[in-house]
Amino acid sequence: MKVMGEGETIERAGFLILLGMVTVALFYIVLPFAGSLLWATLAAIMFQPLFQRILRRRPGRPNEAAIGTLLIITFAVILPAVVVGSAVVEEAAGILLAFQEGRIDLAGWFRQLHDILPANVRTAIDDAGWGDFASARARVEEFVSQSAGMIAQQAVAFGGGAFGAVLSFGVWLYVTYFLLRDGSRIGPAVLAGLPVERGIAQRLAEKFIAIVRATIKGSFVVGLVQGALGAITFWIAGLPSVALFGVLMAIFSFLPAIGPALVWVPAAIWLLATGAIWEGLVVIFSGVAVIGLADNLLRPMLVGRDTGIPDWIILVTTLGGIALLGLSGIVLGPLVAGLFLAGWSIVHEQREAEAELVHPA
């Protein structure tokens, strides 16, 4: 075995330092488009089977297969999302206008809800300064103004509003095309370059792909089902803007167990407070027995089984990921948790194998 001299050691250390500096510099250069690159990678992983299926029908034409896959993504995912989003924005604008014009009597609803509460609960609310509508409204307005300020700062930092959105979408589309076309070569090259034992790198890569596919596929299906069930429930109960609340429930469904309840519980309370007793009971029954049951049945089948991550860890890591990274945290939170569990599982297996060699049975 060749022993490196002092000069070779210095040169190797210098090369590693240079490589580290270049890597950090590249990270900061692509940071403005980190979200686009992340979602391009996730889309390429999710739709790689579709790309391979098209490629088998058009052998030797990877460019056409990648373009065909992007067209399917556009018409099956992006355009429906834009249509639904436009409808939701329209309904949200209508509700906001109704508040501004006074067609929605918040003060009356507040008094009705306050009066039906038990005496000890009303006393506690009054002592906390939430007992009269004016003070509660002032606190809510303060919270909304602070939130609006934060949202405005994020919008400015995003990169120029509509232009930044179009540019990010263009980067996503461009990178997704090449990852779909060249993913079968890029993946093995990345694994070969990792400073990790090949077998361990392969297991972590398989875990990475399984978690990404299970999290996105499972969360998407659960969100669609719970959003549709919520919209139907609200329509039966006679609530307005069912599309808006259905989409909100689909979005909140990314939070296991508690997400949909953030929408249907306030709706049920409002119905009961305004005297719509049977409608409120319908919403409660549907929220617990129908919407909640869909979550309990579908999520373990689509997410927990393929990822091997307990539901409580998925909940905590999803919340933490959203708080830290925004929308991308929905996937990155459980992904980090899955790689963490997989890594320590590999360490445990290696220790057991070493102990078996030292102390054979």
Residue 1 has pLDDT above 60, yes or no: no
Residue 118 has pLDDT above 70, yes or no: no
- Name the domain count of the chain: 2
Residue 46 has pLDDT above 60, yes or no: yes
299 in the same domain as 259: yes
pLDDT at 98: 65
205 in the same domain as 183: no
pLDDT at 150: 45
For residue 240, give every residue at least 6 positions away whose Cβ sits within 8 Å of its Cβ, in sequence order, or none: 95
Nearest to 206 by CA among 299, 307, 303, 350: 307
Q: Is the dihedral of CA 272, 275, 278, 282 positive or negative?
A: negative
pLDDT at 338: 80
pTM for the model stands at 0.66
Does residue 126 belong to any structural domain of this protein? yes
Query: What is the rounded distance in angstroms from the CA atom of residue 331 to the CA atom of residue 35?
Result: 12
Query: What is the rounded distance in angstroms from the CA atom of residue 207 to the CA atom of residue 212?
Result: 9
Does residue 324 belong to any structural domain of this protein? yes
Query: What is the rounded distance in angstroms from the CA atom of residue 52 to the CA atom of residue 205?
Result: 19
pLDDT at 148: 43
Q: How far apart, in Å, are the Cα atoms of 323 and each of 35, 165, 256, 311?
A: 15, 21, 15, 18
Does residue 293 belong to any structural domain of this protein? yes
Instruction: Pick the last residue of a domain from 144, 178, 193.
Output: 193
Find the range with the poorest average confidence among 74-83, 253-262, 301-310.
301-310
pLDDT at 70: 92
53 in the same domain as 107: yes
160 in the same domain as 115: yes
Average pLDDT over residues 87-115: 65
pLDDT at 6: 62
pLDDT at 360: 66
**Hey, what's the torsion of the CAs at 256, 257, 261, 262, to 10 degrees?**
-40
26-45 pLDDT, tens digit per residue, is: 888 888 888 888 888 888 88
205 in the same domain as 158: no
Place of tokens 């950090």: 24
**Residue 164 structural domain:** 33-193
Q: What is the average pLDDT value for the chain, to the nearest integer?
A: 76
Residue 105 has pLDDT above 70, yes or no: no
88 in the same domain as 112: yes
Residue 112 has pLDDT above 70, yes or no: no
225-260 pLDDT, tens digit per residue, is: 888 898 899 898 888 778 778 888 887 787 766 778
Q: How far apart, in Å, are the Cα atoms of 268 and each of 109, 243, 258, 263?
A: 13, 17, 15, 9
Does residue 287 belong to any structural domain of this protein? yes
Using 50, 70 and 90 to split pLDDT, how confident is the model at 58?
confident
Backbone region of residue 310 per phi and psi (left: phi > 0; alpha: psi in -120 to 50; beta: other values): beta
Does residue 216 belong to any structural domain of this protein? yes
Buried b (16+ CB within 10 A) or exposed e, 26-61: eeeeeeebebbbbbbbbbbbbbbebbeebbeeeeee
Does residue 230 belong to any structural domain of this protein? yes
Residue 211 has pLDDT above 60, yes or no: yes
For residue 254, give every residue at least 6 positions away whose Cβ sits within 8 Å of its Cβ, in sequence order, or none: 219, 223, 318, 322, 330
Place of tokens 């403005």: 32
157 in the same domain as 41: yes
End-to-end CA distance of the chain: 35
What DSSP line would sit under 172-203, residue for residue? HHHHHHHHHHHHHHHHHHHHHHSSS-HHHHHH
129-176 pLDDT, tens digit per residue, is: 655 656 655 655 555 444 444 444 444 444 445 666 778 888 888 899
Instruction: Pick the last residue of a domain from 165, 193, 221.
Output: 193
233 in the same domain as 360: yes
- DSSP code of 130? -
203 in the same domain as 163: no
Which residue would you say has higher pLDDT here, 357 or 320?
A: 320
pLDDT at 110: 62
333 in the same domain as 201: yes
Nearest to 245 by CA among 270, 227, 266: 227
Instruction: Pick the last residue of a domain from 160, 193, 226.
Output: 193
pLDDT at 156: 46
The answer to whether residues 191 and 202 touch, using CB atoms and an 8 Å cutoff, is yes
189 in the same domain as 212: no
Q: Tell me, what amino acid is at 278?
A: W
348 in the same domain as 308: yes
Residue 301 has pLDDT above 80, yes or no: no
Residue 195 has pLDDT above 80, yes or no: no
